[in-house]
Structure 1
Amino acid sequence: MTARFHNPVDTRFGCGSLRELASLTANQDVALVIFPEARALGLLNRLQLLLGERLVHVVEDVQPNPDVAQLRDTYERFWREAADCQTVIAVGGGSAIDTAKALIVGTESGSFDDLLELLSSGRPFVPARAKTLIAAPTTAGTGSEVTPWATIWDTAGQKKYSLHLDCTWPKVAIVDPELMMTVPAGVTVSTGLDALSHALESIWNVNANPISDTFAISAIEDILDCLPKLRRDLGNRELRSRMAQAALKAGMAFSNTKTALAHSISYEMTLRYGLPHGIACSFTLPLVLGLAWGRDEARDRTLQRVFGPDLHKAQARLREFLHSLDVKTEFGDYGVTAKEAEAIIEFAMQGARGRNFIGSRAA
């Protein structure tokens, strides 16, 4: 069977690589999507100096888990005020990059509700208008800079939308570890665990291939070793670089497989219980490892390259790793009863991401 790996993103990695924005956007009008704290950190001013007069529009009111209630006004203002700009630059974590991906997909009318209607249909579509995206993550975890997916939440309606089109692949990813030096411990852990989940989810996945496995194994080994050390030494430039590279490799892995059961479970945990994404998609990793083990010989061999041949020891290692980061690993720890947990897992198995899982009945 032929395996295929494809990633169209021009990726720049290294300390100081953010400066490449100047040459990448020469002679263009650009818009910037950035997180609210960037102004106080001096990052917004730095970008304004770097981009100069070509910067024609700034969105800095990005919220965690972008929600339709807030996105609607941002989207429609963007298409009113910055419709002529060629490029959107997203600087921030997954929420900033997801917000930018939503903004670049233009409807004929400029109405956000028209975009939601297209997403609700579940059918592929070609946007009436689109912008080029450059993504520069400020956290080591999202992988959004090298993937086409954006998650848009509707908390009031208890729904989520997944946006993924040809145009939502970033044209360029700039992974500059210097941007991550001020990330606090809690966010460092949460985003790092998101990256770990991406890597593991790409292995117990019906879409896995030898290249995605190579990226995933390397990312897992680095994160298991590096993340606890980084939590204790947040200002360590070498550890920040290692985590940035590990998150990038995890992103490259799942860019070709999509995520699977742990992420499918996480959506319910975020919508219904308010769990931050990185925790919601990682606290079940020992459980999902047990559900994956023994389903497919090739997948077992790949998992055993990381964890060895004993499932119980493998699960214990993952639990101990998560506990060392103060992440609890049982549904009951988050106020979910055993019956509710069973229903959440059953529902997650039937979701689009759940069906990617090698243990799903649908698979």
Structure 2
Amino acid sequence: MPARFHNPVATVFGSGSLDQLPALCPGKVALVTFPEARGLGLVDRVQALLGERLVHVIDDVQPNPDVAWLRGEHERFWAESADCDSVFALGGGSAIDTAKALIVGTASGRFDELLELLAAGRPFAPARCKRLVAAPTTAGTGSEVTPWATIWDAQQQKKYSLHLDCTWPAAAIVDPELMLSVPAGVTVSTGLDALSHALESIWNHNANPLSDTFAISAIEDILDCLPRLHNDLRNRELRSRMALAALKAGMAFSNTKTALAHSISYEMTLRHGLPHGIACSFTLPLVLGLAWGRDAARDQTLRKVFGHDLEKAQARLRNFLHSLGVKTEFGDYGVTPAEAEAMIDFAMQGARGRNFIGSRAA
């Protein structure tokens, strides 16, 4: 069947590409970034690039943006900066997800109106929306080239998935120089998120030869590059390779969405506090086994990366994760075998789980 691939994000890649920001962010601009950005000089750099056009700064984004914090920021943004033309997200997945939530305005100005629309699970047209430009400071999220944002509600133990036509970034700036200061733990966690994105796009009902091309290249680069980068964090060549690998993984799953490993990860993050990159990657050897033999075309693609022996393929993934200090059994995270089985069954029924070629809900 004909393969269709769609990604509307204008992408600029390479060292120094942040300098393209003024041309990509027209009019008045709001900056959404993480707390350390100011100490790293990034807020001052954006200010220097945009000058008086930078009119609003949110620089206290926390990991896994929660509705309890987002509510106030969203309503304040629309009350104080409704005339803003562009929003620039600078940071990891949480900063970009936060910006995606902020740019979607409601008729009432209430954030809870947006939550109600998301909870209903039906398509909707937002009352207002802003132009979004995203620059990742970590190599992993892929959010700069996808429309999805995850919004968390820790109190209610829920998550919302936001995705609209307007939550596709208009442009992505992928500048490896922005990633040089990322510490080892975040480098590993975000790199494994990218690996998961690429693998999840292969064992996926929505996969096609075009998404596979991005995914295979990303996987090969990450398996080779991430352990070396872990031991040489200031290496510009390795940072650039990982940035490109994460971008390719993002391009792959921008068309397929994620699958079972991510569906499992949401429960592991909500109930066991695992960082997202670890939560979505520690099950990769297990999920590879569940995917193997389900679909001849998908097997062919997986074998291009791992060869023809499933046990060796799983061992390679497991050893790779162990070399980065990531444990690969549910029991390592306090989850009993019975709880793990129930979690997998539940994840299979979720929207992302149903994308998985081995899903019993498919």
Structures share fold, TM-score greater than 0.5: yes
Q: Which runs of 5+ in 2 are unaligned?
A: none
Q: What SS class does the counterpart of residue 255 from structure 1 fall into?
A: helix
Q: What SS class does the counterpart of residue 160 from structure 2 fall into?
A: strand
Per-residue CA deviation, residues 269-311 of structure 1 (Å, 9 max, x unaligned), is 0000000000000000000000000000000000000000000
Equivalent residue letter for 1:217: I
Query: Are 2:143 and 1:144 equivalent residues in the alignment?
Result: yes
Q: What SS class does the counterpart of residue 74 from structure 2 fall into?
A: helix
TM-score (norm 1): 0.99
Deviation at 1:361, TM superposition (A): 1.5
> Which runs of structure 2 are paired with 1:87-98 in the superposition (5 Å)?
87-98=86-97
Following the alignment from structure 2 to structure 1, what is the Cα–Cα distance between the partners of residues 318 and 71?
A: 40
1:9 aligned partner: 9
2:115 aligned partner: 116
Query: Are 2:323 and 1:324 equivalent residues in the alignment?
Result: yes
> Which runs of structure 2 are paired with 1:149-188 in the superposition (5 Å)?
149-188=148-187
TM-score (norm 2): 1.00
Q: What SS class does the counterpart of residue 271 from structure 1 fall into?
A: helix
Deviation at 1:110, TM superposition (A): 1.0
Following the alignment from structure 2 to structure 1, what is the Cα–Cα distance between the partners of residues 220 and 24?
A: 33
Equivalent residue letter for 1:246: A
Query: Contact 2:24–2:133 at 8 Å: present in 1 too?
Result: no
Deviation at 1:24, TM superposition (A): 2.1
Following the alignment from structure 1 to structure 2, what is the Cα–Cα distance between the partners of residues 168 and 25?
A: 15
1:278 aligned partner: 277
> Which runs of structure 2 are paired with 1:44-59 in the superposition (5 Å)?
44-59=43-58
1:355 aligned partner: 354
1:190 aligned partner: 189
Deviation at 1:23, TM superposition (A): 2.0
Following the alignment from structure 1 to structure 2, what is the Cα–Cα distance between the partners of residues 66 and 362?
A: 29
1:38 aligned partner: 37
Deviation at 1:38, TM superposition (A): 0.5
1:126 aligned partner: 125
Following the alignment from structure 1 to structure 2, what is the Cα–Cα distance between the partners of residues 24 and 12?
A: 10
> Which runs of structure 2 are paired with 1:210-229 in the superposition (5 Å)?
210-229=209-228
Following the alignment from structure 1 to structure 2, what is the Cα–Cα distance between the partners of residues 169 and 136?
A: 13
Deviation at 1:336, TM superposition (A): 0.2
Q: What SS class does the counterpart of residue 126 from structure 2 fall into?
A: coil
2:267 aligned partner: 268
Deviation at 1:25, TM superposition (A): 2.7
Following the alignment from structure 1 to structure 2, what is the Cα–Cα distance between the partners of residues 340 and 361?
A: 18
Following the alignment from structure 1 to structure 2, what is the Cα–Cα distance between the partners of residues 144 and 177?
A: 16
Per-residue CA deviation, residues 294-332 of structure 1 (Å, 9 max, x unaligned), is 000000000000000000000000000000000000000
1:22 aligned partner: 22
Following the alignment from structure 1 to structure 2, what is the Cα–Cα distance between the partners of residues 119 and 25?
A: 28
Following the alignment from structure 2 to structure 1, what is the Cα–Cα distance between the partners of residues 85 and 107?
A: 17
Following the alignment from structure 1 to structure 2, what is the Cα–Cα distance between the partners of residues 345 and 277?
A: 17
2:206 aligned partner: 207
Following the alignment from structure 2 to structure 1, what is the Cα–Cα distance between the partners of residues 200 and 121?
A: 23
Deviation at 1:261, TM superposition (A): 0.1
Following the alignment from structure 1 to structure 2, what is the Cα–Cα distance between the partners of residues 150 and 316?
A: 32
Between the two proteins, what is the percent identity of the paired residues? 82
Q: Which runs of 5+ in 1 are unaligned?
A: none
Q: What SS class does the counterpart of residue 256 from structure 1 fall into?
A: helix
Q: What SS class does the counterpart of residue 113 from structure 1 fall into?
A: helix
2:295 aligned partner: 296
2:70 aligned partner: 71
Deviation at 1:362, TM superposition (A): 1.9
May I ask how many residue pairs the two structures share in their alignment?
A: 362
2:336 aligned partner: 337
Q: What SS class does the counterpart of residue 134 from structure 1 fall into?
A: strand
Equivalent residue letter for 2:18: L
Query: Are 2:111 and 1:103 equivalent residues in the alignment?
Result: no
Equivalent residue letter for 1:73: G
Per-residue CA deviation, residues 49-93 of structure 1 (Å, 9 max, x unaligned), is 111000010011101000000100000000011100110000000
Following the alignment from structure 1 to structure 2, what is the Cα–Cα distance between the partners of residues 76 and 101?
A: 14
Equivalent residue letter for 1:119: L
Following the alignment from structure 1 to structure 2, what is the Cα–Cα distance between the partners of residues 62 and 271?
A: 18
Following the alignment from structure 2 to structure 1, what is the Cα–Cα distance between the partners of residues 46 and 4?
A: 37
Following the alignment from structure 2 to structure 1, what is the Cα–Cα distance between the partners of residues 104 and 264?
A: 28
Following the alignment from structure 2 to structure 1, what is the Cα–Cα distance between the partners of residues 238 and 324?
A: 16
